[in-house]
């Protein structure tokens, strides 16, 4: 059995719901390898899937299909990114009021066990400076405390494409040093604790302290509270830690997404080389096709 990650590479609930549900009904998905032109097949049969982990900034389009997903025998949870950033950083992300309605719907229907909040990634600009983030984070804690007891966060990693996109969208961005990061993290930790929320740091171990825990975004212990059978719990106990980057503590999973297919257009995104390419690729995706990557119809290998 395996965990399905849907997806670190794109927002499947927001933009690819119809494609995803078609793959669920078919029982498998084709995923293009990151390292070659080959593709591999991943089973989506409930007998083979321990749980599905959705990464999203808008679960609204998927929400009407969650009963079908549950009735088919799937267990799932959401890593829900809620930043409340200005449009210059997140031009395509829905308004906070929409997000809170969706969160309320998810938790009322499936309980708080399906929701984990990500305040990710922290970007510092003249408009979103330390003072802004602390005020914004406290406001979000106030709104989300009834729905979740954890907030996973990280500071932006400035890859080459991130620098290019940030320079275009927010040229006044500031890369904080470790001292600044610790200072912000400690104050966020105090705020989170006030609201009964545990703050955890994703892939930045230097921030771990009495107020800040270490995040495991795909977390077998958390998923043990979500899955519904002895077989699935046993499968979780056998999972290895398979980092996706330095200091990542995620359990192993199979990601079914594709890079350059997300239309949120976030300035800091590591998964899109540029928003134009993402829009073009999205227009090429066949909702009845086996693979989310338009190039992913090459030779299939088993995985």
Helix spans in 115-217 (H): 130-144, 160-169, 178-194
Residue 297 has what pLDDT?
A: 58
Task: Judge contact between 107 and 141, C-beta under 8 A.
Answer: no
Give me the mean pLDDT over the 156-180 stretch.
Answer: 95
- Domains of the chain, with CATH numbers? 2-287 (3.80.30)
Residue 302 has what pLDDT?
A: 41
Checking if the pLDDT of 132 tops 90, the result is yes
Return the closest-CA partner of residue 215 out of 228, 195, 200, 232. Answer: 200
**Beta bridge partner(s), residue 5:** 53, 255
Residue 300 has what pLDDT?
A: 39
Measured CA to CA, the distance from residue 172 to residue 125 in angstroms comes to: 6
pTM of the model: 0.95
- Please, what is the average pLDDT of the chain? 94
Lowest mean pLDDT among 11-20, 224-233, 268-277: 268-277
End-to-end CA distance of the chain: 12
Task: Judge contact between 4 and 49, C-beta under 8 A.
Answer: yes
Checking if the pLDDT of 246 tops 50, the result is yes
């Amino acid at each position: 059995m395996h965990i399905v990650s849907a997806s670190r590479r794109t927002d499947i609930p927001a933009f690819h719901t119809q494609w995803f549900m078609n793959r669920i009904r078919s029982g498998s998905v084709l995923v293009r390898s990151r390292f070659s032109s080959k593709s591999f097949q991943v089973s989506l049969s409930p007998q083979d899937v321990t749980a599905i982990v959705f990464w999203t900034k808008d679960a609204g389009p998927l929400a009407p299909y969650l009963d079908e997903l549950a009735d088919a025998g799937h267990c799932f949870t959401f890593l829900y990114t809620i930043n409340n950033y200005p449009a210059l950083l997140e031009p395509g992300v829905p308004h906070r009021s929409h997000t809170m309605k969706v969160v309320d719907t998810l938790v009322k229907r499936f309980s708080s066990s399906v929701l984990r909040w990500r305040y990710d990634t922290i970007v510092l600009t003249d408009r979103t400076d330390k003072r802004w983030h602390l005020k914004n984070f406290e406001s979000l804690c106030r709104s989300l405390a009834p729905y979740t007891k954890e907030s996973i966060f990280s500071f932006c990693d400035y890859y080459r494409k991130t620098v290019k996109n940030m320079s275009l969208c927010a040229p006044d961005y500031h890369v904080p040093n470790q001292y600044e990061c610790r200072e912000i993290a400690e104050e966020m930790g105090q705020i989170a604790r006030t609201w009964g929320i545990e703050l955890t740091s994703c892939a930045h171990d230097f921030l771990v302290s009495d107020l800040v825990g270490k995040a495991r975004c795909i977390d077998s212990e958390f998923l043990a509270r979500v899955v519904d059978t002895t077989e699935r719990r046993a499968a979780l106990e056998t999972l290895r830690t398979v980092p996706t980057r330095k200091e990542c503590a995620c359990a192993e999973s199979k990601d079914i997404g594709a890079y350059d297919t997300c239309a949120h257009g976030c300035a800091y995104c590591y998964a899109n080389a540029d928003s134009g390419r993402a829009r073009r690729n999205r227009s090429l995706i066949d909702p009845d096709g086996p693979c989310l990557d338009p190039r992913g119809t090459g030779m299939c290998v088993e995985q």
